Amino acid sequence: MPRSAAGGPPGPCAAPGGRIRVFHHSGWAPGAIDLDEEETAFFAEYRGAVSPDGPDHFPVVAAKLHRMHEEEPTLTVADLAGYPGPTLVMVGDGDDEIPLEHALALRAGLPRAQLAVVPGTGTGCQWTSPTSSSVSSQIS
């Protein structure tokens, strides 16, 4: 299965002011945010189906995400402590792009977070696993 354009969960986080920042992208596996032709085509179609801009706009989105991941500051565990809302951090137990330690650090930084490690899944577990839907519906 293709991976998420942002490197998979728990990659991006919203920062105060609505700006998107990344939680320690250095904790991702090498190449996690680099998309090959097949993955780019998949995400262009996937996003294009729901975007008013259509699939031809995906390269613009991908370029912005890549620049953000390479150039913008990353959030630290201390930065996350100010987020007051409940959060569900989900990661597959077979995720080869986001190490479990990275998800644990993200969860530790969010005061009201819960962690779900979904068995038998990898990156994108929240879209591909029936277990994920069940876990998500039970947490409020």
In this structure, what DSSP letter does residue 118 have? E
Domain ranges of the chain: 12-138
Query: Average of pLDDT values for 1-10?
Result: 36
Long-range contacts of 11-16 (CB under 8 A, 24+ apart): 11/98, 13/75, 13/80, 13/106, 15/75, 15/79, 16/82
Q: C-alpha distances in angstroms, 12 versus 38, 62, 104, 119?
A: 22, 14, 15, 22
Q: C-alpha distances in angstroms, 90 versus 36, 62, 79?
A: 25, 23, 20
Q: Is the pLDDT of residue 76 over 60?
A: yes
Query: Average of pLDDT values for 76-81?
Result: 85
Confidence of residue 134 (pLDDT cuts 50, 70, 90): low
Query: Average of pLDDT values for 62-86?
Result: 82
Return d(Cα 80, Cα 112) in angstroms, integer. 11
pLDDT, one tens digit per residue, over 16-37 is 333 444 566 666 666 667 778 8
- Total Cβ atoms within 10 A of residue 31: 11
Mean pLDDT of the chain: 73
Confidence of residue 56 (pLDDT cuts 50, 70, 90): very high
% of the chain beyond a pLDDT of 90: 3
Q: Is the pLDDT of residue 126 over 70?
A: no
- Largest Cα–Cα distance in the chain? 39
Confidence of residue 2 (pLDDT cuts 50, 70, 90): very low
The model's pTM: 0.59
Return d(Cα 87, Cα 33) in angstroms, integer. 23
- Total Cβ atoms within 10 A of residue 132: 19
pLDDT, one tens digit per residue, over 92-122 is 888 887 788 888 888 999 999 998 888 888 7
Return d(Cα 34, Cα 93) in angstroms, integer. 22
